Amino acid sequence: SMARMMMVKKTVSTKRKEREEQYAMDTRMSIIQQNFDDATTVGGGTVFSVDEGLLEEVETMFEFLRKEIVVLRKKNTKLKKELAESESDKRELFNQASSTDHALALSKIRNDQMSKTNMTLLDDNNRRRKESTKLKNELKTQQEAHESQLQDMRVEFDSALTYREVEMQSLQLHLQSLTAQHERELEALRRDCE
C-alpha cells in the first residue's frame, strides 16, 4: 500500500542520514585522534603538555563517545525487545504448529473412524443386496413351481371334464336307445292287446 511505501522510504532516508552522520563523526574522531597522537608524541617520547584547543577536541570526542554509548544502549534495548518479541512469536508459531498437528491427528483419527464406518455400511449394504437377490430368486422359483402346479391342475381338470362329457354323451345315447326300445315294446304290447 501507499502508506507502507512511504514508511519504507522514510526508514531508508533515516538510515542513510544516520550512516552519513556516523561517517562524518568517525572521520572527525580519526582526525582528533591523529592530532592528539601528534601533539603528545615527540621523538618517541610522551609530552604531557597539550594546548587548549586539543583539550577541547578531546572533550568533544568524549562527549561523542558518551552519546554513542547512549545510542548503543538504546539499540541494545531495542534489540533485546525485538529478540523477546521474536521468541514470543516463535513460541506462538510453535504452539500453533502443535495445535495444527493435534488437529491433523484428530482429523486423521476421525477419517479412519469414518472410513471404517463406511466400510461397515458398504459391507452391510452388499450383504442386504445379496439377501434381496436370493429372496427374489426364491420367490421366482416358487412362482414358477406354483404356475407349473396350476398348469398341471388345469390339464387334469380339462381331461376330467372331457371324460365326463364323453360319459354323459354315452349315457344320453344309452338312454335314447332304451327309450326307443321301451316305446317299441309298448307298441308291440298295444298291438297284441288289440
Q: Tell me: the pLDDT tens digits for 7-42?
A: 767 777 877 887 787 777 777 777 777 766 666 655
What are φ and ψ of residue 45, in 5° steps?
Answer: -110, 170
Three-class DSSP category at 102: helix
Residue 36, pLDDT score: 65
**Cβ(53)–Cβ(31) below 8 Å:** no
Q: What count of Cα atoms within 13 Å lies in the side-chain half-sphere of residue 184?
A: 6
- Segment 33-83, tens digit of pLDDT: 776 666 665 555 455 455 666 677 777 778 878 888 888 889 889 989 988
Q: For residue 155, what are the CA distances in angstroms to 125, 148, 149, 162, 169?
A: 45, 11, 10, 10, 21
Residue 32: Cβ within 10 Å count: 17
- pTM (global) more than 0.75: no
